[in-house]
Amino acid sequence: MNIVIVGAGRVGTSLSKALDRSGHNILRIISRSTEKAEKLANVLGSGYGKDLTIPEDCEVVIVAVNDDAIHGVMKKLKAPDKTVIAHTAGSVGLEVFGSDIVNYGVFYPLQTFTDGRDFNFREIPVFIEGNNDHTSSLLRSLAASVSETVIYLISEKRKYLHLAAVFVCNFVNHMYYAGKEISGQAGMEFKVLLPLLEETMEKASDLGPEKSQTGPAVRNDKKTIEKHLDLLSFSPDLHKIYQVITDSIIKKYTA
Amino acid sequence: MNIVIVGAGRVGTSLSKALDRSGHNILRIISRSTEKAEKLANVLGSGYGKDLTIPEDCEVVIVAVNDDAIHGVMKKLKAPDKTVIAHTAGSVGLEVFGSDIVNYGVFYPLQTFTDGRDFNFREIPVFIEGNNDHTSSLLRSLAASVSETVIYLISEKRKYLHLAAVFVCNFVNHMYYAGKEISGQAGMEFKVLLPLLEETMEKASDLGPEKSQTGPAVRNDKKTIEKHLDLLSFSPDLHKIYQVITDSIIKKYTA
C-alpha cells in the first residue's frame, strides 16, 4: 500500500520501518521536526516535510503523534476522501476525527517504543478499529502484513488495554527502579536482580500471575512486612508503595 | 561435600538438586513432612527422615525452611561441632543460630522458587555470610560450585536485597495480575500483554529502569491519568495503587 506517516517519534519510526520491511511504499514522513522527518525518510527512501496535504495516490495515513497532538493534526490534514486516516493511540477514541474525514480508524500496536531499540514487530498485537467496513478491512490487512496478532477492538474496550499496559509496563518499570534503589542501599548493582526479573516474568507467563504470587504479603507474614517497612524509612514514597501493594495482595489472597 | 538439607519445600528441592548435579553428596533430606522428604530423597538417591541429629561425616547442613521455622530447627538440631550450619533466608540474620553452634552462616540464593519449575541455577546470584573465615570460605566454595555469581554480604545489607526482591518479583507479579484483570475488562486474555512484559524487562535490563520509564505519569499527562482513574472505578484497590505509583513517578521525574 501507499502510506503516509505523520510523526517521526518512537512509534512513527518503529512502525514505518516495519511497514517498509513488509514491502509497503512509504510515500512521505510528515513531522513538525524537519530534522527527525529527514532522518527517518533517508532510512526509508521516502519523501518528507511539514505540510499536511496528503497526495492523491496515498491509501492510508497513519498519525503516530502524542495523544494531545492528534486533534491538531486532524484540523490541518487535507486528505482525499478515499484515503483511510488512522491514529495509533490506545486511549483516544474515534471522536478525534473531524466530520470532514470519510474513512477513519485506529491502528494501535501494544508495545513500549524506545529510540534506537528494535524488536520483532510480528510478535506485537495490533488492535484495529474502523468507522466502516472498508476501513476496518483495509486496516486489518495492513496490520496483518506486519503482525501475527491482529484484533478488532472498539475504543471503549481498547482504553482498558492501554490502562493494562500502564500497569505491566510503566508501573513494573517503577518497581524495577525501586529494586535498583533498594539494592543500592546494600551497595549492590541492579544486575544482581536480573535473573529474578526474568523468572518472575516467565513464571507469570507460564502459570498466570495468580498462581505465581509469592513473598511475605501473600503469606500475610506480618513480622517480615514490619521489618521491610522499617528498612524503607529512607524513602517515604517507596514506603507508601510497599504498604498499598502489600495491603492489596493480602486482601486478594488471604481475606 | 557431604551435605544434609533440612526442608523439602521449594528452596530445599531446587537447591538440593543443583548441589546433586554439581557432584556433591546429599546424605539426607530432613523434613517435618516424611512424604515430601521421601519424594525428594528418591530423586537424589539420598536418605531421609524427621530426626534433626546430624551424622558425623556431614560437612554442611543447609536449613531451607520458612523464616519463622528456622529458630525451632536450630533448637532441635544436634550437629557435630565441626559441621557448618547455614540457612537460606534473605531477611534473617546470624542471631538465629544458638550459642552451642560453632560454625554458622547464610547461603541465600536470590530467586523465586516454584514447585515443578526448573531453571538454570548457575545464573542465580548466591549471597553468603559466615561467622568465621573457615565457614565463609567453605560456603563460598559450595556456592561457587552451583552458581557463577557468589557475593559475600553481611546480614544488615542482605536484608535490602530481600526487600528489593519483593519489589521486582512479588510487586511486579501483582502488577501483572492487575494487567490481567484490566485487560479482562475488555474481554482480552493476559497473553496479549506478554510481548510488552518481555520488552519492558529487556529494556530495563539494557538501559536501566530510569532511562526506560514511559507512559502518562512520566509525562505528567493529567488528562490521561484522570481517564485511567475513571476506568478503575471497578476496583478500589487498583485505583489506589494507580494513584500512589503515579504520584511517585511524577515526583521522581517531573518535580
Residue A114 has pLDDT above 90, yes or no: no
Q: Do B170 and A112 touch (CB under 8 A)?
A: no
Decide which of B194 and A116 is more confident. B194
* pLDDT at position A255: 76
Residue that the C-alpha cell 509496563 belongs to: A169
| Per-residue pLDDT tens over the stretch B206-243 | 999 999 999 999 999 999 999 999 999 999 999 999 99
To test the contact with chain B by mutation, choose from A172, A210, A214 the residue with the greatest count of B C-beta atoms within 10 A, namely: A172
Share of chain A above pLDDT 90, in %: 93
**pLDDT score recorded for residue B118:** 78
Cβ neighbours of B207 in A, within 8 Å = 114
Q: Averaged over B133-137, what is the pLDDT?
A: 98
pLDDT band at B61 (very low <50, low <70, confident <90, very high): very high
| Helix A67-76 × helix B222-231 angle, to 10° | 110
Cell (9 digits) for A149: 496478532
User: pTM here?
Assistant: 0.94
Q: Do B169 and A112 touch (CB under 8 A)?
A: no
Please answer yes or no on whether B196 and A168 come within 8 Å at the CB atom.
yes
- Does position A127 have pLDDT exceeding 80, yes or no? yes
Instruction: Give the list of residues 6+ apart from residue B100 with CB closer than 8 angstroms, or none.
Output: none
Average pLDDT for residues B136-164, to the nearest whole number?
Answer: 97
Q: Do B163 and A206 touch (CB under 8 A)?
A: no
Chain A partners of B218 at a C-beta cutoff of 8 Å? 170
> How much of chain B, in percent, has pLDDT values that exceed 90?
93
A170/B227 CB distance under 8 A: no
Query: What is the arithmetic mean of pLDDT over A54-82?
Result: 95
Query: In this structure, are residues A173 and B134 in contact, taking their beta carbons and an 8 Å threshold?
Result: no
What's residue B115's pLDDT? 82
CB A49 within 8 A of CB A30: yes
pLDDT digits (tens, 9 = 90+) for A31-44: 999 999 999 999 99
Q: From the CA of A203, how many Å to the nearest CA of chain B?
A: 8
CB contacts < 8 A (A, B): 321
Residues from chain B contacting residue A176 (CB–CB below 8 Å): 167-168, 172, 201, 204, 209, 212
Q: Which residue of chain A is at minimal alpha-carbon distance from B217?
A: A170
Residue-level pLDDT at B120: 85
Higher pLDDT, B117 or B236: B236
The 10s digit of each residue's pLDDT in A184-237 is 999 999 999 999 999 999 999 999 999 999 999 999 999 999 999 999 999 999
CA–CA distance, A3 with A164 (Å, rounded to integer) = 30
Beta bridge partners of B62: B5, B86
